[in-house]
Structure 1
Amino acid sequence: MTKKIGMRIPPKIGADGIESVAKWASSNGIDIIDVPYYNEEVKSVLEANGLEVGSIDGVGAVGQTKLLSKDEAARAEAVEALKNQMTEISRLGGKVMFMCLVPEDITISRKDAFEIWKETFPSIVEHAEKEGVYIALEGWPGPAPYYPTLGSTPEMLRAMFDVIPSKHFGINYDPSHLVRLGIDYLRVMSDFADRINYCHGKDTEILYDEQYECGNIAATFGVNYDFSEGPWRYTIPGQGDVNWSKVAVRLEKIGYEGPISIELEDHRYWGSLEKEQQGIIKAKEHLEIYFK
């Protein structure tokens, strides 16, 4: 199974703008770039370097979002902005919109946030269907201690998909979040096969000594690594607990046709341009063993 390998843009690699990103990515065998926004300029830069656009961040739909605000007027304004963006990216040929649905007030319960979501999202997904855009929900559970993100567990995903059966509303399959949550990351692929609209190449190492100290909850007195809460840390593919051979086989079985896009969040490959570049290249090389 040959898959295209993509990447989200890390901060140091992205510091000099999209043209610099595209040239570096193209020269290092990356096929796809995920972007925070998409317009004619970004499209032309990617195409000039032989690259394709991957996922596009939903405006106001990544992190704490007014789409899940208690304020009805604020929600309506956010919905309108998101629909306008969908229309624009569809016109430019974009297909996948990345979302991470953290309520504006992270202290409200997930159940209450879900009730707000039920009011807000049916019309958004109807618009996505009309424009040929597929929503990919990020499974990051959100900040401790509340873990407020909607769509990070099978329980919540089932509830959401019962409300909105459209395949235009699906998930960004990222095994790293599932591993840290103790969720069977392979079973998720079979249970939600028809809802996988995008896929991230990121891994998680369970840190057993740290886990002994604080269990599965976030450490109280600080962590030993960046991109960690104590008992685990995010890594590049191949340096954590994910079996990428099994992921590849199951993605092939369910007929997933999209790319595997590297999301670089790793203590060892962070803090300088050189480290980020090294991390992306090592991640790509590992994924290519199974996907190329």
Structure 2
Amino acid sequence: MRLGLLTACLPGESLADVAGWAGAHGYAALEVAAWPDRPGRDWEASHLDVESFDAAEAARVRGLLAEHDLELSAVAYYENNLHEDPAVREATHDHLRRCIDAAQLLGVGLVGTFVGRDVSRTVAENLRLAETVLPPLVEYAAARDVRLVIENCPMEGWHPDGYPANLAYSPELWGWLAGLGLWLNYDPSHLAWLGIDPVAALDAHADRVLHVQAKDVELHPAARNRYGVFGRVLDREPWTSGWWRYRVPGLGELDWGRLVDALRRAGYDGVVSVEHEDPVWSGTPGRIRQGLAVAERTLGPLLAA
């Protein structure tokens, strides 16, 4: 296993700057963010311009990573592929296809995304919708030797009431994902606040895991006793539950020794990619890098053991 990081945490930095820092600070891989460069969405990173990507740009990116002894673990575009607005949904699918094209040119076999949810429909209706609209994307990827890996994040902030809005949040759905030809980008942090043992979930589905994201979570059970698992209702703020928050690995509840051991027992030999969403170590590029350094100190020795 090798330690990587998702570049989305540094949206204002160039890919060259992120690669230079990562290669010098114990990282061996990058999961490269490829959101569209859109005004007013500064939190989305566009480290690959997949809309104009060609063989020359692919060679440049491969050379940049090689210069810093880094591999590319996946192209990252985590968006709502079941969005309730058909025009937005189709634009999302079109950009996802461009990410797949870029992955093919780069010689990396994985593109990370979400299933998503149409929040105007029931879960059952969404499952049927997904069974219609996702297989063509899976087929498009397969024709280019690329597989789609789905992060198991609930994306509760997309739902007006804070309910899961990415239909990959529960291990109950992972077999359904497999039936559609989708694979897992396994992130244990989401399972912990949902009350699911992340090791038990991994043991049951390890054969579907092609990529791993490393994020920790800080829980406050006393606040959960007031708000419930779905978080605060009155004066609700999207993405703020009132009783849990994400942290970098080593500063939350997860037992990373146990998790890495479970991955090793399962035969996983891919990248463990740090997804930095820690509000404590955020605000400036310098603080974000400090958080990434904490993650490397936590995970680096475990992955090397």
Q: Tell me the residue number matched to 2:147.
A: 134
Q: Tell me the residue number matched to 1:15.
A: 12
Match among 173, 177, 188 for residue 160 of structure 1: 177
Q: Tell me the residue number matched to 1:204.
A: 217
Aligned length: 278
Distance 1:151 1:48, change over 3 A: same
| TM-aligned CA deviation for residue 213 of structure 1 | 2.1
TM-score for both structures, normalised by structure 1? 0.86
Distance 1:81 1:232, change over 3 A: closer
Q: SS of the counterpart of 1:189? A: helix
* CA shift digits 1:169-226 (9 cap, x unpaired): 21111000000111121111111111101101111121122112212121235699x9
Q: Are positions 1:29 and 2:30 aligned together?
A: no
| TM-aligned CA deviation for residue 106 of structure 1 | 2.6
- Aligned-pair identity (%): 24
Distance 1:75 1:5, change over 3 A: same
Match runs of 1:211-222 below 5 Å: 211-221=224-234
Match among 95, 101, 124 for residue 111 of structure 1: 124
CA distance in 2, matches of 1:218, 1:182: 14
Distance 1:74 1:212, change over 3 A: closer
Q: Tell me the residue number matched to 1:266.
A: 278
Q: Tell me the residue number matched to 2:103.
A: 89
Q: SS of the counterpart of 1:205? A: strand
| TM-aligned CA deviation for residue 50 of structure 1 | 1.8
* CA shift digits 1:114-153 (9 cap, x unpaired): 1111011222222323322121111111124232211110
Q: Tell me the residue number matched to 2:137.
A: 124
Q: Are positions 1:5 and 2:42 aligned together?
A: no
Match among 43, 58, 61 for residue 42 of structure 1: 61
CA distance in 2, matches of 1:238, 1:264: 12
**C-alpha contact 1:6 1:259 (8 A) present in aligned 2:** yes
Q: SS of the counterpart of 2:276? A: coil
* CA shift digits 1:259-292 (9 cap, x unpaired): 1111111122011222111100011110123111
| TM-aligned CA deviation for residue 155 of structure 1 | 1.7
**C-alpha contact 1:107 1:146 (8 A) present in aligned 2:** no
TM-score for both structures, normalised by structure 2? 0.82
CA distance in 2, matches of 1:64, 1:80: 12
Distance 1:236 1:222, change over 3 A: farther
**C-alpha contact 1:223 1:230 (8 A) present in aligned 2:** no
More displaced 10-residue stretch of structure 1: 247-256 or 77-86: 77-86
* CA shift digits 1:8-62 (9 cap, x unpaired): 1254x4423111111111111111111123452433322222211122124xxx2
Q: SS of the counterpart of 1:190? A: helix
Q: Tell me the residue number matched to 1:174.
A: 187
What amino acid is aligned across from residue 186 of structure 2 in structure 1? Y
What amino acid is aligned across from residue 168 of structure 2 in structure 1? G
Distance 1:237 1:222, change over 3 A: farther
* RMSD of Structure 2 on Structure 1 (CA): 2.5
For structure 1, list consecutive stretches of 5 or more residues without a partner in the other structure. Answer: none
**C-alpha contact 2:152 2:170 (8 A) present in aligned 1:** yes
CA distance in 2, matches of 1:197, 1:205: 26
CA distance in 1, matches of 2:61, 2:239: 29
What amino acid is aligned across from residue 98 of structure 1 in structure 2? G
Distance 1:30 1:18, change over 3 A: same
**C-alpha contact 1:227 1:265 (8 A) present in aligned 2:** no
